[in-house]
A = this chain, B = another copy of it.
Amino acid sequence: MQARLNRAKLTELEPIFYPQSIAVVGVSADEQRIGSQWLRCLVSSGFKGRLYPVNPRGGELFGLRVYRSLRSIPGPVDLVIVCVPRASVLDLLDDCAARRIKAVYFFTAGFTEAGEREWVEVQREMVVRARRGGFRIIGPNCFGVYCPEHGIPFGPFGLQAGVGSVGLISQSSGHMGKILEFGMTRGIGFSKGVSIGNASDLGAADFLEYLALDHKTDIVGVYLEGPRDSRRLLEIMRVASETKPVVVLKGGRSDAGARATAFHTGALAAPAHVWSGALRQAGAVEVHSVDELADTLLVFEKSGRFSQANLAAVCGITDGGGGEAVLVSDACADAGIGVPALTEETGRELVGLLGQVGSVLCNPVDLSQRQRAPQVLRRVMELLAGEPEVDLLAVYENAGVILDAFPREKAEAITATIVDFSNTRRKPVLVILPPGPAETRRLEIERKLSAAGIPVFPSIGRAARAIDNVRGYWRLRARRDEAERKG
């Protein structure tokens, strides 16, 4: 008996990501205050629906009329963003009910996570009132929704990364912001996302069900601390993982982490190994840091489906390729990534191209002892992509040396060659571009590669772990598909 996702979730949560109107409660004449900043970001991000600022004093802000209360807004209100002190939230919820809103989220904090009994009670009462009023709560203690396609930026600072196929659910607004930041520089695109804070009402399970059904979301990234509804979440995760990868970072793995978790979102934690086992059983991909989460989402989004991960690498675009080749091999071995030997035919052509006997039959290929014209790099990439045992190509672009050694045009020609080759889509290409002293120009290169949909990593170790994660998921899928075909 297979559990199914409830398609009603799509309709139910649709107004949260695609509201026709938003009220921001808690704006102020001081444009530096959080509520006002939030409103400004919604205005400038081009939100297409109606925006209603709310403050008891009324007035005008960023060209919009400020309403004295939710009740005084003339048209319908789908979504409410709340930045008022915690003492006023209960009254506000009655107003929300009167306006028949669909959902509300609370930047306002100081409830279960603060550990004071009185406010734990208030959080419970909030949910009671929302149920009674027929609407849902996101948070409190969160930044809420991100939906770039619909012009909703993330949080009061208006973070905006590109549109793409990654959906996010996070119990920490900070981590979700960090993932979006990585997305901005490294080209991860997002369908939508939500930070759920204390998850008093809607929780990770609800949003995972929604994202699993959402046809604009191909990959789901999740940051969990201790969800209230673990059992249901894991069950939904199991079903969701059958159709799309679910990548999970579980915070609070350690005792100290669990203690911090309790204070952060008021959640309780199970031991790390219990969580790891449960996530594995649910078919999720577990990661262990925010960096690894971003790296893995990036490879899932950009590199297509691969259940084998044999890597061919090009090192030494300038000198120094020997050491790079050794560490690429070691890092791949540590992550269980194959670095296959090349066929004799390819070896022979490499001898012709690169000259020296020693290095040429070897993968990684080390270009460093010869002329490194862009057309040589191109041909080497073609040869490696033509190898039957090679699934992925990595280019080690040591920008520090390249920018020192080559005139600007030549350094740019190298990047252009990698982009051109990647555009042929013969095999997925990744680039290792370690940081160094020439950061401004290195970041230019990173931006160009990222804009071309090429995953860029600061180290081969991080690339190898991400590749391993992605391979693990697709291998499982391949086995299941095979079993279904036979069964």
Contact = CB atoms under 8 A, between A and B. Distances in A.
Interface of A: 109-110, 113-116, 157, 159, 170-175, 177-178, 181-182, 184-185, 223, 225, 251-261, 263-265, 288-291, 316, 319-334, 339, 356-359, 362, 364, 366, 369, 398, 400-401, 404-405, 434-437, 439-440, 443, 458-459, 461
A170 B322 CA distance: 12
Given A116-B357, A184-B437, A320 B256 contact: no
Contacts of A330: 251-254, 256-257, 288
Contacts of A366: 260, 263-264
Task: Report the copy number of this chain in the oligomer.
Answer: 2
A175 B316 CA distance: 12
B178 A322 contact: no
Contact of A113 (B110, B174, B358): B358
Nearest to A446: B439
A132 B299 CA distance: 57
A263 B358 contact: yes
A234 B439 CA distance: 38
A443 to B, nearest CB: 6
A256 B332 contact: yes
A439 B434 contact: no
Contacts of A405: 157
A354 to B, nearest CB: 11
A326 B113 contact: no
Given A110-B356, A114-B358, A291-B459, A329 B259 contact: yes
Contacts of A185: 435-437, 439
Contacts of A321: 174
